Structure 1
Amino acid sequence: MAPGVLTTSSLLTIIITTSVTPSAPSTELLSLVLESFRRHCPLLLNCRVIIVFDNYDRVTPTARLKKGCVTSEQAADYVLYKQNVKELFLRQYYQDSENVVFSQIEAKAEYGSPGDAQNVVNLIALQSHDKKVTFIEPARRLGFGLAVRSALRMTETPYTWVHQHDWVLLSDFPIDPLLEIMRASELDEEAPIKYVCLPAIRMLSYAVSDAVMRFPALRELTSSLKRDLSPASQPDIKVPLTPLFFWHDKPHIASTAHYLARIFPTGLAIPRGDFIEDTLGQRARTQMKEGLWTKWACWLYYPDEGKQLCLRHLNGRAWPGSEREAEKIARLRQQPEE
């Protein structure tokens, strides 16, 4: 590679958020994520990665993971899970994974009113000597929104791929051409490309769905902006995009600076424990319907006119892992028929 040439790894950081799941301490969920990268977008494995281990709020007799409540068994499993995940990623990124040198960084995640000293979560980040791998562990639960912001603040690349731990890629994704297209659009006042979401099952045929067609302004924008784009260095490659009128949490690529400016302008933007799409995502859609789409500049990757699926959701809050699932099925088969 010639000096000064921008590569995917110099442009993009991967942020992966994870938390307590029924499948812990197994790393099967994240192993499936990495395998899907390897199969469908191997360049991602050359990029720096930041893994955020979100915490829980309390130990209770019954788990309510979305509310930050875990059982004592899950809390113990999570300690093992974090260590297992660290080993998984170090093996992925380093040949001599046992001798990687880390620096420790202390940080804070503030939220809510700045006048309340309680509205701060302390963070410890372990970062490898070459910054390829960073692990962030908060002292309290952050929620997806603040977990992403904490990682973005440590991101040094102009673009970020945000990935929750229970989504896997199902089809090839043109990350290199897309990044070149995004960079070329930075000065485009009419159609900047600041955020690109990958399509999941409910987003198929999005451009002709009710989410678009019921609103004249969104129909008009889609008609004028939906297009196939080609990077200057690879004119034969076509990257199909259509305007997206929402900011989704599911896997996406975004400008790092745009992310921080639009989603996290102040500590009041995202409450602790919340998802981005449940708060700012709704506000973004409202503003887009009012004519402010370029403020958010959201797009959807749209292969085969929106008929090609790119993501599968594994539902990490419910999935126990293949081993425990097999054990459950075996127990059910052993039960006598009534």
Structure 2
Amino acid sequence: MAGGSESLTALCTIITTTSPTPSNPSTELICSTLNSLAEHAPALLQCRHILVCDGYKCGSNSKFRSGLVTAERAHAYQQYMEALDRLAHEKASPAWERVEVVRLTERQGFGFAVKAALELVDTRFVCIMQHDRTFMRPFPGVLSLLQAMIQDPRLKMVGLPTTTNDPPRYISQAITKLGAMKVVHPPFETLALTSSACPDFRFIPMIMWHDSTHFASTQYYREFVFSRRQILVTRGGFIEDKLGQQQGMDLREIGWTSHARYGTFLLDDGAPAPARMVGHLNGKRYLRSSIKVALEVAERAKASLADVPESEDGLATDELAIGCRYYQRKA
């Protein structure tokens, strides 16, 4: 079937990753992200949506970015995943109509959580999201974007604008970075791609992979990002960590021609600066009020942790427990 006649449902699957956060068991963070999808990119609600819950490791101290949590926070995460199951089963809102919850039994990290979800995908493209990356403004051109990617296979990965990657100023930033890296390249303005499928858009070469919300070819993900011939993503980490470093090394050692291998582009839909389409939510803002108090106290206590007594077993506890103990001591 020609790309122009395929429906969005047939073309794209959404993969959203989630993992332990201080706000668990509250689902407000993920619901805010999914509701932003319904508000600003409602066409994507037609697509199958795989919500993959990463696993975790238990320890005496919580380090959420590393997937390490205390027994207490692990219990909160289990409650959170059960709540996600209910929201998906009950189709609690339009944003949850096509959501399927997948739980991973072990800690994988963002990159390998995406890899696990890819095993369930049978569409040509994927939209990769994180639980704390929310749409900030309307994006009605999803289908046109995918049709452009079909027309031009050079568009292997297209990221949506963020505060870091703001199209009106990204070109000058990229030129500066390439100069610092001593990478010789054609005039950068000439490197942007356009497509008849979406004449109001242009695609600016992105010189470094960015894990924020993006669209990509499923085949590209399987055969390149997670290639068995080379390790560009490691278990427990983000895709941009190792792959982004390799992309920079290739630019330095091979030159500008190496960019074609990565095919990373930034969508420029003509919006004036600041043009961010996707924002980053602070998970701590979604804590229940009682936990917020403890966490705020914990943050104030960090400057004087030596004044905080150890637990009876001599082990450090997570930041919420530290906050509670500090609060009780000062009360």
> Shorter-chain TM-score: what band?
0.7 to 0.9
- The residue that corresponds to 1:223 in the other structure is 189
Would the alpha carbon gap of residues 220 and 259 (structure 1) be closer, same or farther in structure 2, given more than 3 Å must change? same
1:68 maps onto 2:30 in alignment? no
| TM-fit CA distance, 1:326 | 8.7
Residue 281 of structure 1: SS of its match in structure 2?
Answer: helix
1:276 maps onto 2:239 in alignment? yes
- The residue that corresponds to 2:288 in the other structure is 323
1:194-238 per-position Cα deviation (integer Å, ceiling 9, x unaligned): 10011221222111113345456465263222244331xxx6x51
Task: Kindly indicate which of the two structures has a greater share of residues assigned to helix.
Answer: 2
1:260 maps onto 2:222 in alignment? yes
Instruction: Give the distance between the partners of 2:20 and 2:99, measured in 1 at CA.
Output: 21
Mapping for residues 53-202 of structure 1, pairs under 5 Å: 53-58=53-58, 60-92=59-91, 132-173=98-139, 174-186=141-153, 192-202=154-164
Query: Given that residues 211 and 240 in structure 2 are in contact (C-alpha distance below 8 angstroms), is that contact kept between their aligned partners in structure 1?
Result: yes
AA matched with 2:31: S
Residue 279 of structure 1: SS of its match in structure 2?
Answer: helix
- The residue that corresponds to 2:9 in the other structure is 9
* Partner residue of 2:200 out of 220, 235, 238: 238
* Partner residue of 2:250 out of 272, 287, 291: 287
Residues 267-276 or 39-48, more deviating: 267-276
Instruction: Give the distance between the partners of 2:87 and 2:184, measured in 1 at CA.
Output: 43
Instruction: Give the distance between the partners of 2:144 and 2:34, measured in 1 at CA.
Output: 21
- The residue that corresponds to 2:277 in the other structure is 310
Aligned residues: 286
Would the alpha carbon gap of residues 77 and 5 (structure 1) be closer, same or farther in structure 2, given more than 3 Å must change? same
Would the alpha carbon gap of residues 299 and 327 (structure 1) be closer, same or farther in structure 2, given more than 3 Å must change? closer
Residue 249 of structure 1: SS of its match in structure 2?
Answer: coil
1:129-174 per-position Cα deviation (integer Å, ceiling 9, x unaligned): xxx5433222210111111111112110000001111110112222
- The residue that corresponds to 1:119 in the other structure is none
- The residue that corresponds to 1:51 in the other structure is 51
Query: Given that residues 22 and 287 in structure 2 are in contact (C-alpha distance below 8 angstroms), is that contact kept between their aligned partners in structure 1?
Result: no
Residue 140 of structure 1: SS of its match in structure 2?
Answer: coil
Instruction: Give the distance between the partners of 1:172 and 1:288, measured in 2 at CA.
Output: 34
Task: Kindly indicate which of the two structures has a greater share of residues assigned to strand.
Answer: 1
Name stretches of at least 5 consecutive residues in structure 2 with no aligned partner. 298-326
Query: Given that residues 167 and 311 in structure 1 are in contact (C-alpha distance below 8 angstroms), is that contact kept between their aligned partners in structure 2?
Result: yes
Would the alpha carbon gap of residues 228 and 306 (structure 1) be closer, same or farther in structure 2, given more than 3 Å must change? farther
Query: Given that residues 163 and 274 in structure 2 are in contact (C-alpha distance below 8 angstroms), is that contact kept between their aligned partners in structure 1?
Result: no
TM-score by length of 2: 0.77
Instruction: Give the distance between the partners of 1:49 and 1:258, measured in 2 at CA.
Output: 19
Would the alpha carbon gap of residues 325 and 169 (structure 1) be closer, same or farther in structure 2, given more than 3 Å must change? farther
Instruction: Give the distance between the partners of 1:55 and 1:320, measured in 2 at CA.
Output: 23
Query: Given that residues 221 and 243 in structure 1 are in contact (C-alpha distance below 8 angstroms), is that contact kept between their aligned partners in structure 2?
Result: no
Residue 115 of structure 2: SS of its match in structure 1?
Answer: helix
RMSD: 3.0
Instruction: Give the distance between the partners of 1:328 and 1:25, measured in 2 at CA.
Output: 16
AA matched with 2:275: Q
* Partner residue of 1:208 out of 169, 172, 180: 172
Residue 32 of structure 1: SS of its match in structure 2?
Answer: helix
Name stretches of at least 5 consecutive residues in structure 1 with no aligned partner. 101-131, 187-191
AA matched with 1:76: H
